[in-house]
Every structure is written in C-alpha cells, then in structure tokens.
Amino acid sequence: MAYQSVSRRIFLTCNYLFFILVSLSILIPFLNAIAISLSDAQAVVKGNIGIWPQGFNLEGYKRLLGSSQFMHSVFNTVFLTVVNTFLVIIISIAAGYALANKHFIGKGFMFIYILIPLYFNGGLIPTYLLVNNLGLNETFLALILPNIVSVFYIIVFRNTIDQLPRELMESAEIDGASEPRILGQIILPLILPMTMAFVIFSAVAYWNEWFGVLLYIRDKSMWTLQFQLRDILVNADLADTQTQQAIVQNGPRVNPQNLKMAALMITILPIIVIYPFVQKYFIHGQLVGAVKG
C-alpha cells in the first residue's frame, strides 16, 4: 500500500464523511416518502413514520393507477418526452453539422445569428402572446414547438463536428455519399456518446415539464404527469379539486399523504429505472473533449 501522509488521510476522511452526509440527506427523505406511500392510513395520520413503512397499504397506488385522468397524464408525458427529445436532438445535430460544413456559405454570419437568442429572448409575455395568436393554446403543439430548438446543443454539436478529421468527410464525398448519409453513417457514430448525454438531459427536462401546461393548457385530459403531481401536492384536502375527487370516488377514502407520496414515487420511478442503463453514455459524453491525444 502506498504511503499516505497524515494530512492526506485527514482530507480523505473528511471527504468521505462529507459525501456520506450528503448521500444520507438525499436518501433519508426518499426512503421516508416510500414509507409513507406504503404505510397504513392511520399510521400516516399519527405522523410517526420514519424510513420503514408501518402496516402495508397500496391503496394510494391503486387509486392513482386506476384513475383515468392520472393515466392520461402518464401517456401525455411519455408522448411529449419522446417527441420533444427526438426533435430537439435531430434539429440540433442537423444544424450543428450544417454550421460545421465547409460548403455552407455564410455559416459565420448564421452562427452569430443563432447566438443572439442565447443571450436575449422575447420574454414570457411575448412568448405567451405569440403562442396564443397562433391558436396553439389547448394543443400539444404549444408544448412542443417552443422547446424544440436548443441553441446550446447546436453550438456544442457544431464545435464537436468541426473538430473531427476533415479527411473522413472528404473521403465520403469522393465516394459519392450524400450529406444525410455522411451525417448518419459517419458523423453520428463518432458523436454518439455526446448525443446520448444530451438525450438524457432533454428527456429528464421534458419529463419534468409542467410550466408550459400551466400557461397554455386548461383541459385536464392534456395535463402532464408533473402538473398532475403538482395539483395533488398543492391541494392537501382530496375534496379541494375535481382531480382528487375523481381519484377517490367509488371507494374508501385514502389519506392525502398516501396519495401524494404514491404519486411522487410513480413520477420519479421511470427516471430511476432508466438511468442505470444509460449512465455509461452519460459519463462518456461528459468526457468527450475533456481528454486530448
């Protein structure tokens, strides 16, 4: 074993203790939420639940999964996450490739042009008025079109593609490959780790979307999962909103805390399940460009 100085050992000990405390500060509330979602309603009322359930009660999950409105929000969120993530990645890669292409006349001017929205934007009220005047309120297009162009993604893809060896693209051009084929079969495999990292970023962001629904959507059948969760969390009394009345009808009432924590678990579970499978792409994508040579 390599010798470590006293100061080094003190540093490592403090470092480990710090990260253990940080991990516990995240893990304990999460375990408490799970325990509340699975505990008996009477135990929840007493308010003495720690990180282990008292009793066993799945009524909150049953009510949510049996609610057509809640399931509509799940389907809406999955649909919007897939569509928005696909569009923003495709547009960003295509725009980045175009800005890095030597045949694109005026790419310097266009690059400066797309930088402007990165520093200045119209603001919330003009954006709302634009969406409203286009007649997009109460449609999914109001949640899709304003979000499908990411200037940051375009710049990163442009810089990454611009650093790739020119000989690869030139040899493909000599062989008669079209621009879409060069992008799809040569460029995309080389930037796949970074692409997957941005896919994760975008998917998580769109999965957590709720503010656009607050602005543009009134029809509850078009609510996203996060906005549905917000409605449940904000209204502590189940009888306060039509949403919660629909959830608890035709059966015994459940404690609001059971319902809240069950909704919270259902909302974050897909991200927790998917993340371990894409973590390797995420880490690799973060390292792309950080190590030279």
CATH number of the domain that 283 lies in? 1.10.3720.10
What's the pLDDT tens digit per position in 69-105? 888 898 999 999 999 999 999 999 999 998 888 778 8
Highest mean pLDDT among 118-122, 145-149, 268-272: 145-149
Residues 4 and 68 in one domain: no
Tokens 């725009």 sit on residue? 95
Tokens 């809640």 sit on residue? 70
How many domains in the chain?
2
Asked if 166 contacts 103 with a C-beta cutoff of 8 angstroms, the reply is no
Q: Which segments of 107-251 are extended strands (E)?
A: none
- At 201 the pLDDT is 86
- At 66 the pLDDT is 82
Residues 209 and 280 in one domain: yes
Residues 75 and 41 in one domain: no
In which domain, by residue range, is 39 found?
Answer: 1-57
**Final residue belonging to a domain, choices 57, 75, 97:** 57
What's the pLDDT tens digit per position in 65-75? 888 888 889 89
Residues 45 and 71 in one domain: no
Q: What is the mean pLDDT of residues 152-170?
A: 86
Mean pLDDT of the chain: 81
**Final residue belonging to a domain, choices 18, 42, 57:** 57
- At 246 the pLDDT is 46
Tokens 């939420």 sit on residue? 33
Residues 47 and 81 in one domain: no
Residues 53 and 129 in one domain: no
Residues 46 and 63 in one domain: no
- Encode 68-117 in three state secondary structure: HHHHHHHHHHHHHHHHHHHHHHHHHHHHHHHHHCCCCCCHHHHHHHHHHH
Longest dimension (CA), the chain: 75
What are the structure tokens assigned to 166, written together? 């020119």
What's the pLDDT tens digit per position in 13-57? 999 999 999 999 988 888 888 888 888 777 777 777 888 888 778
Helix, strand, coil share of the chain (percent; to 5): 75, 0, 25
Residues 50 and 69 in one domain: no
Task: Tell whether the model's pLDDT for residue 179 goes beyond 70.
Answer: yes
Residue 33: count other Cβ atoms within 10 Å of its Cβ: 18
Q: What is the mean pLDDT of residues 248-275?
A: 74
Residues 53 and 103 in one domain: no
Asked if 228 contacts 243 with a C-beta cutoff of 8 angstroms, the reply is yes
Residues 100 and 180 in one domain: yes
Q: How far is CA 240 from CA 38, 234, 243, 248, 254, in A?
A: 23, 10, 9, 12, 14
DSSP state, residue 147: G
Highest mean pLDDT among 120-124, 150-154, 227-231, 239-243: 150-154
Residues 164 and 192 in one domain: yes
**Final residue belonging to a domain, choices 42, 57, 72:** 57
Residues 32 and 75 in one domain: no
